[in-house]
Structures are given as C-alpha cells and as structure tokens.
Structure 1
Amino acid sequence: MTMYVNGIGFRAIGRLTGVNHNTVINWVREAALKLPDAPEHSEIPTICTS
C-alpha cells in the first residue's frame, strides 16, 4: 500500500514484489474498504485575505 500511495503503479509494484498486478489491485481495494468514510462537510470555509 505504501508504494501505491507514493505513486508507484500497479504493474511496477507487481514487478518489484514478484506478484501479479491484479493481486496488487485486489490488495489496494481491500485496504481501501477498511478506511473510514470521509466526513461530510456542510459548511464552506471562508477565506480571509489581508
């Protein structure tokens, strides 16, 4: 997961780890499902310029 987050593609991760890129995709999908949902933001922040 660290390699993917740092911008390495699925195929490159597969070559580096010696596993099929489809397996890497499945690993990333499984990890993503375990992440909490992003919080809902109903307010738009104001921007102050001085």
Structure 2
Amino acid sequence: MYLNGNGFRAIERITKVNHNTVIRWVKQIGNQLADSKEDYEKPEVVQLDELQNL
C-alpha cells in the first residue's frame, strides 16, 4: 500500500492498524531491502506525504 502511494494515515484508516506500527513495518522492510545486493537507481524526485520525527 505504501509503495502504491498511500500515506501512513491512509493505510491506518484502511487496515485499522496504528500508523506508527505501519511506519515501523515499512522501516523494517526497507532495512531488509537495503541489505540486498541488487543495483538500483536513486530517484531524482520524491514526494513526502507526512514527515514524522520518531
């Protein structure tokens, strides 16, 4: 859902899971993907839905 453009609070409303839990899940998966050896291009433009400081 996050990769398809939904924000953390939108995912919270849809799944009934607290947005902080969703953020934690996304970070965990992101860390696992960062360890992969595949080459990828960094995006030049990104869009921020929400900014949170944990």
Q: Same fold (TM over 0.5)?
A: yes
Identity %: 57
Structure with higher Rg: it is 1
TM-score by length of 2: 0.62
Match of 1:31 in 2: 29
TM-score by length of 1: 0.66
Unaligned runs of 5+ residues in structure 1 are: 40-50
Deviation at 1:38, TM superposition (A): 6.0
What is the root-mean-square deviation in Å for CA atoms of aligned residues?
Answer: 1.8
Residues in 1 aligned to 2:24 and 2:30: alpha-carbon distance in whole angstroms: 10
Q: In the alignment, residue 9 of structure 1 is paired with which amino acid?
A: G
Q: In the alignment, residue 18 of structure 2 is paired with which amino acid?
A: N
Following superposition, which runs of at least 4 residues in structure 1 exceed 3 angstroms of deviation? none
